[in-house]
Amino acid sequence: MARNYKELQAKMDPASLADNKRRVREELQRMALEELRGGTVVIDRFDEYEERPYVVDATAEGGGMFRLRARPLHHQGAAFSTKAFKVSGLTKAMRALHLPEAQIASIKASLEKSTRRVEIGGSGSSIQRVFSIPHLVAAGFEETSADQPEP
């Protein structure tokens, strides 16, 4: 004869009942963690940064060091920047932004010739390429603090 779980639960002593409830809670928490560990978690919302377009500049900082800086296209939002790095790091960050190899080569050549700043994507009404926060994060950008100087 099948028994109702509530009938069985009513006959359990309080210590066993508490232990049973604890183990059920732990199992439910473990199941949720296993679901998260089972695949890639995509973060597609970045709070107030969501959907804001950014323009990126490549700058030469001297001593063979370079940095990428991003500013909001419509002057609303935080500025972002990469750490300073050598030309190999600059190349890697621009590849992470999915820039074509020809454009990467052109930007590096301009910076190495003495141009201090190269805007990536154009300017004004001719802007051909803007970037979103997920693009910037993938390329190693972090929000720029207010005390960090701009070029």
107-122, pLDDT tens digit by residue? 998 888 877 888 886 5
User: Residue 63 phi/psi, 5° resolution?
Assistant: 65, 25
Put simply, whether the predicted model's pTM sits higher than 0.85 gets the answer: no
> What percent of the chain clears pLDDT 70, i.e. is strictly above it?
74
More confident residue, 94 or 46: 94
At 60-78, the pLDDT tens digits run: 998 889 999 998 887 777 8
In order of 8, 38, 106, the CA distances from 25 in angstroms are 19, 20, 58
CA–CA dist 79, 58 (Å, integer):
14
- Cα angle 16, 21, 26 (rounded to 5 degrees) comes to 125
CA–CA dist 69, 79 (Å, integer):
7
User: Residue 141 phi/psi, 5° resolution?
Assistant: -80, 150
Q: For residue 51, is it left (φ>0), alpha (ψ between -120 and 50) or beta?
A: left
CA–CA dist 21, 46 (Å, integer):
37
CA–CA dist 56, 99 (Å, integer):
11
